[in-house]
Amino acid sequence: MVEHEVETSAATAVVDAGPADRLGADGVLARVRAGTGELTGALRRVAEHVLSDPEAAARATIVELAERSGTSPATITRFCRAMGFEGYADLRLGIAAETGRARSAGWTVDIGREIQPGDPLSRVLDQIMAADTRAMHDTAALLDLAEVERAAVAIAGASRVNIFGASGSALVGEEMQFSLHRIGVAAWAWSDVHEGLASAALLGAGDVALGISHTGQTRETIELLAEAGSRGATTVALTGFPRSPLAELADIVLVTASQATTFRPDALSARHPQLVVLDLLYIAVAQRTHDRAHAAFRRTAQAVDGHKAAKGALS
């Protein structure tokens, strides 16, 4: 039976306020995936149904999709608008185009399939490669390059950069800190809350704080970024959810996508897209500090060159 629910304006507004209006047909499913966490009730059921079988959703009429998701045509229309489409026809075309490209590129191979204990490593490798490739393309579609530009300009001119993250996000942050140090940017990565808060309290105008959290709900990272922002630092959030608490308090938001697989839930599968976005940000900073960056990179390379094994030394 079709369930007729009246959505609250707040639930719809959460998604409408997001970056969907600046996205094209690419990344439709990534957009839905990123917004699902902020949807409730009937709108959430529509999103979950679309993600469970995108190809079937692209073939369904608005009445069929409403029946299958246990909602109503009016809810489907609200869902389309929340995702940045004028109507259901535009949503269907966007999903159809994306799933068609996925098939031609081989991205759908094993994505979403559970990895079984007896699966050969060749099949596991295919699934990981397909999921990561899709996540990279989805991230490229979601990413606002103007926001990357703003973050790069801020970091290039910063006196110091603090990077905050917990667990896996801390590892990603350490990679960014190392890259920035190689080109002469004073950057520190903090995973301990007390040390991070002490450092954040010393930031000020002209400094930058980067908080990394796929969910955008890690309390420690939110607290650290909030402290930095309260001291006048420019705050940047790297997250998979543009309406998460972390994103809400940041001046600049960089959005990533992920494709979960068995043994690699969203938080783990987000690591490679996060690294890609941070690599892009690092290169953008190096471009804007070219002479300084080039000289620093050359000096740091020379400093460690003596620790490389000579050819034939280990034979």
Per-residue exposure over 48-71, b if at least 16 CB sit within 10 Å of its own CB, e if not: ebbeeebeebbebebeebbebbeb
Name beta bridge partners: 162. Answer: 188, 209
| Same domain (yes/no): 147, 261 | yes
**Could you tell me if residue 31 is inside a domain?**
yes
pLDDT at 282 over 90: yes
| Same domain (yes/no): 139, 96 | no
Q: Is the dihedral of CA 148, 16, 136, 59 positive or negative?
A: negative
| Same domain (yes/no): 156, 67 | no
Q: According to the model, what pLDDT value does residue 266 have?
A: 66
Query: What are phi and psi for residue 289, nearest 5 degrees?
Result: -130, 40
Give tens-digit pLDDT for 119-159.
889 888 888 888 888 888 888 888 999 999 999 999 999 99
Give tens-digit pLDDT for 184-231.
999 999 999 999 999 999 999 999 999 999 989 999 999 999 999 999
Question: 9 vs 91, which has greater pLDDT?
Answer: 91
pLDDT at 265 over 70: no
Give tens-digit pLDDT for 97-123.
877 765 655 545 455 566 778 888 988
How many structural domains is the chain composed of? Answer: 2
- Tell me if the pTM is above 0.75: no
Q: How far is it, in rounded angstroms, from Cα 131 to Cα 108?
A: 8
Q: How far is it, in rounded angstroms, from Cα 133 to Cα 276?
A: 12
CB 134 within 8 A of CB 111: yes
| Same domain (yes/no): 235, 295 | yes
How far out from the chain centre does Cα 314 lie? 42
Q: Is the dihedral of CA 239, 21, 138, 286 positive or negative?
A: negative
| Same domain (yes/no): 75, 171 | no
Contacts 24+ apart (CB under 8 A), 227-230: 227/197, 227/200, 227/201, 228/162, 228/164, 228/200, 228/203
| Same domain (yes/no): 146, 212 | yes
Name beta bridge partners: 189. Answer: 163
Domain carrying residue 289: 135-303
From residue 205, alpha-carbon distances to 54, 167, 234 in Å are 46, 28, 7
